[in-house]
Amino acid sequence: MKRYTVVGAGLVGSLLSLYLSKKGHQVDVYERRKDPRKNKKSEGRSINLALSERGWASLKEVGIEKEVLFDAIPMYRRVMHDIEGKLSYQDYGKNSQAIYSVSRGGLNRLLIEKAESKPNIKISFDHKCIAANLNDASVTFEHQRKTNEIKNDAVFGTDGAFSKIRLEFQKRSGFSYSQDYIEHGYKELNINPGPDGSFRLEKEALHIWPRGGYMLIALPNPDGSFTCTLFFPMKGELSFESLDSSNKAKEFMSQNFGDALELMEDFENQWNTNPTSSLVIIKCDPWNVKGKSILLGDASHAIVPFYGQGMNSGFEDCRVLYEIMEKSDNLESAFESFSTTRKPDADAISDLAMQNFVEMRDLTGQPDFLLRKKIENNFSNLYPDKWMPLYSQVTFSQIRYSKALAEGKKQDAIMQKVMKIQNIEKLWNSEEVNNFILNSLL
């Protein structure tokens, strides 16, 4: 039996503790914040989460997928709102394939509840990590002004994008690291339920207002409300900085997102009160120090939210690491193997997430793009073993992200040629086009 330290009881840390406890090991989890079950307001970052295949698969292995599903809302398609409020649609997958809107806070509380019910998991809240020795897996925590050093067999850093454990990695020679703030930040805005508790936009969908250089999205909540997020440049001519009064902001919103603005009560107050947050991409290498310390989730690979894969990839980290640890009792080779094999997948989903930002904010507003998706889906329905759309590979499969990225590039090259076929808008489901794709795949 081993004894493990997990730093951070967020989504990834609390799920990881469940995995690590499976074989009877003792797991000590330390969380900087107070117990979130006692204070529902302090949920931290709250971009809506879209749970998909990788997330579900990871939750299943610890047996909590049904409870999660109970409060989740399936989103079967994208609904695009153009500048006049006209709608267009794009299914995410086939038949009943959907991504699921879930509440970060609710899911986190459920995972913590489940972890605490295990006799060999102990969660200590209000414990701030202030130092760590990565070589011998000892971590020092501060709690009520007292410090305490914990030394177990290994330490797992699941303390998020601004990880304190990773800061210790950063002091080591040979540790490559980058933090990259993208041009865009975000602000959340709320659409309340109708007077009768009804949804005021199509419920089981993800709404997008694509405007080229920026966009608004909305995800449904179980209470009938929608959480909207405006992704917008932080600085520059048209930016959060330039919209420096709620009047200017309202003017801008009414010009660009008129149908959404109409549904936002108390817009000015929301604009002034809700924080403007920045988005950071974090990459690093290696993720482990021998068999003693290892990083997972946002701590090792924080990505932008545009593919809905931040949580899903963090959950998959837990499953992948667990499977490697199952095969070997040697923590050093297990950690090395995880860091080496999982890193290309983390890099891939990071790049895919940035690509998907362009797709969402710009391409989804263009007829050509919707036609292209239609051709892909048509071909994929005819030849499901020959073509799985990139979005499906990422969202509805457990294919390695790095493989999906590579496949996606090949598909993109083919589709660029397809879109140049004369009269493609008429020929889109013709034998000619399908044969062209078939031949291109040879």
Any bridge partners for residue 255, and if so which? none
Binds its own copies by CB under 8 A, chosen from 254, 255, 278, 330: 278
The residue range among 30-38, 173-181, 188-196, 323-331 that interacts with its own copies, by the rule CB under 8 A, is 173-181
Strand order of the sheet with strand 3-7?
121-124, 26-30, 3-7, 154-157, 293-295, 288-289
Nearer CB in complex with its own copies: 247/278: 278
Q: Does 354 bind its own copies (CB under 8 A)?
A: no
Q: Could you tell me how many residues of this chain bind its own copies (CB under 8 A)?
A: 12
Which residue's CB is nearer to its own copies, number 94 or number 235?
235
Which x/- pattern, by CB under 8 A, does the window 225-244 give for its own copies?
---------x----------
Binding track, positions 243-262, relative to its own copies; x by CB under 8 A? --------------------
Where does this chain touch its own copies (CB under 8 A) — which range of 176-184, 218-226, 330-338, 363-371?
176-184
Of 73 and 281, CB closest to its own copies: 281
| Nearest distance from C-beta of residue 302 to its own copies, angstroms | 13
Q: Which two tokens stand for residue 191?
A: 């659409």
Residues 35-74 as x/- pattern, contact with its own copies by CB under 8 A: ----------------------------------------
Q: Are 408 and 390 in contact (CB under 8 A)?
A: yes
Report which DSSP code applies to 365: G
User: Could you give the 3-state DSSP secondary structure of residue 253?
Assistant: helix
Shortest approach of its own copies to residue 103 CB, angstroms?
25
Beta strands 77-81; 205-210: pairing state: parallel
Q: Does 340 bind its own copies (CB under 8 A)?
A: no
Residue 26: its H or E element: strand 26-30
Residue selected from 63, 177, 330, 358 as contacting its own copies according to rule CB under 8 A: 177
* Least distance in angstroms from the C-beta of 39 to its own copies: 24
In angstroms, rounded to a whole number, what is the distance separating the alpha carbons of residues 302 and 138? Answer: 24
| HEC assignment per residue over 383-433 | CCCCCCCHHHHHHCCCCCHHHHHHHHHHHHHHHHHHCCCCCHHHHCCCHHH
**What separation, in Å, do the N-terminal and C-terminal C-alpha atoms of the chain show?**
52
* One residue of 178, 245, 247, 416 binding its own copies per CB under 8 A: 178
Least separation, in Å, of the C-beta of 61 and its own copies? 34
Out of 24, 41, 84, 174, the only residue in the binding site for its own copies (CB under 8 A) is 174
Least Å distance, CB 251 to its own copies, is 26
* 7 φ/ψ angles, rounded to the nearest 5 degrees: -100, 110
Instruction: Detail the DSSP E strand segments found in 49-163.
Output: 49-51, 73-75, 77-81, 87-91, 99-102, 121-124, 128-133, 138-143, 146-151, 154-157
Q: Indicate which single residue of 96, 176, 273, 422 sits in contact with its own copies (rule: CB under 8 A).
A: 176
Other CB atoms closer than 10 Å to residue 57's CB: what's the count? 16
179 lines the binding site for its own copies (CB under 8 A): yes
Q: Cα angle vertex 356, ends 67, 273, to 5°? A: 70
Residues in the chain: 442
Tokens found for residue 363? 């391409």
Stretch that binds its own copies, among 118-126, 134-142, 170-178, 373-381 (CB under 8 A): 170-178
Q: What are 384's two structure tokens?
A: 């499901």
Question: Which residues would be at the binding site for its own copies (CB under 8 A)?
Answer: 170, 173-181, 234, 278
